[in-house]
Amino acid sequence: MMDKSELINLTKEHMHVLCSAISERRVGGEGNRLATAFVKNKFRESGWTTDETLLEVMDWRTTGASLKCGTESFEVSSSPYSQGCIVSGELVPVNTVEELEKADISGKIVFLLGQIASGQIMPKNFVFYNPEEHQKIISSLEKGNPKAIISATGRDSAVAGGVYPFPLFEDGDFDIPSVYMKDTEGEKLLACSGQIVTLESGAVRIPETAFNVIARKEGRTKKRIAVTAHIDAKIGTSGAIDNATGVVVLLLLSELLKDLKGEYCVELVAFNGEDYYAVPGQMKYIEQNQGRFDEIVLNINIDGAGYKEGLSCFSAFNLPDYISEKLDAIFKSHKNIVEGKPWVQGDHSIFVQYGCPAIAVSSEWFIDHMDNQDITHTPKDNMSIVNYERIPECALAIRDLIVSIAGNK
């Protein structure tokens, strides 16, 4: 059995592979496929049975974007997963949903700013959370048939992460070309309202593949504990906290639990697509488990663990009394893990929606600063912000909880 110092060294080795040797884990990219292959091989080395589920996805690249009004240029970026374009048209500013529903935008370039651009729009086919107002915006734009969309945005840390400006649209199912700019740049662009502007975006959509990786240690019954972490990261970031650390917890657990012989099956699931518009890995898992979610005794999801400031934290959902009692007793014995605010945005939400007991494990600092942090989904999310002791601590606490529930005979 490895001691903590050996687990810390192993953590550093795995983090180096996922965040440095592999530069980017965006869904559909080569780095993402290298990461899933690495995780699958490590699971197998620890003696786990592994399955790899093929996902049809979209990779995306851009050579950049430009916007001109007369002789004046404005700084814009291609919206992730948007179509590319080379178009000219009248600039029509829109501040609210009501304005959008009334505006004549056919064949023009619509400029979204102010209230309508204050928060990231959910992808049009996103099934887990899709406010009516967002659906109205998408519908009005598609019916209005503009040549392209420009949006001026600030921050939306809770949904879009720490990026500034944030892309109003991040949706490969939405086919109107779009770009985004800083809200301060948008104030300058307003002077061009009603004038002809020219927009170019070098965005390209590329059909590709990705994979979920699931490792299993069979039990004596069909009941199972599913431990999950998403392996993908946003474009342009190494995704250390979001979520290489979570994947490393899975890898440590594959070593810590390799000799487990319990009542319940244990699944270690590396989901692909939590930070991707279509959440393909999660949707495939739901499809594969229709009618079988009652087999899941507990889900433990790790996302955002191991931040250098503060402690690790957990929040619990739908726990029966006997699991809640074990959780309290075991996690209290691990002094650097505390109960935090309920957090519903991770992959555990899938299990909660299907009535499964779930525990979300993260970093207390991130949960407390969800609405104003500027780290996730940016280049700041790198190995320099990781506390390498916190990751083995999480793995050991989760190991103890699983053994107490599943047994080890």
Which pLDDT score, from 0 to 100, does residue 336 have?
94
pTM of the prediction?
0.95
Residue 280: its pLDDT value, please?
94
* Domain ranges (residues) in the chain: 4-57+208-406, 71-194
Instruction: Convert the pLDDT of each residue in 276-309 to its tens digit.
Output: 999 999 999 999 999 999 999 999 999 999 999 9
Peptide bond into 372 cis (omega under 30): no
pLDDT of residue 44: 98
d(CA 205, CA 58): 6
From the list 33, 35, 29, the residue with the least C-alpha distance to 14 is: 35
Task: State the average pLDDT over residues 19-40.
Answer: 96
Mean pLDDT of 72-77: 98
Tell me the pairing of strands 224-230 and 265-271. parallel
User: Which candidate, 145, 68, 64, places its Cα nearest to that of 110?
Assistant: 145
Structure confidence by residue, pLDDT tens digits, 302-333: 999 999 999 999 999 999 999 999 999 999 89
237: nearest Cα among 197, 193, 275:
275
pLDDT value for 145: 98
Task: Quote the mean pLDDT of the chain.
Answer: 95
Instruction: Read off the pLDDT band of 408 (50, 70, 90).
Output: low
Are 109 and 199 spatial neighbours (Cβ–Cβ below 8 Å)? yes
Distance, CA of 19 to CA of 246 (rounded, Å): 12
* Contact between 148 and 176 (Cβ < 8 Å): yes
| Domains 4-57+208-406 and 71-194 in one fold | no
Tell me: pLDDT of 7 over 90: yes
Does residue 166 surpass a pLDDT of 70?
A: yes
Report the amino acid identity of residue 79. S
In CATH terms, the fold of domain 71-194 is Glucose Oxidase; domain 1 (3.50.30)
User: Regarding the domain delimited by 4-57+208-406, which CATH topology (the fold level of the hierarchy) does it fall under?
Assistant: Aminopeptidase (3.40.630)
Distances (CA, A) of 303 to 248, 300, 409: 11, 10, 30
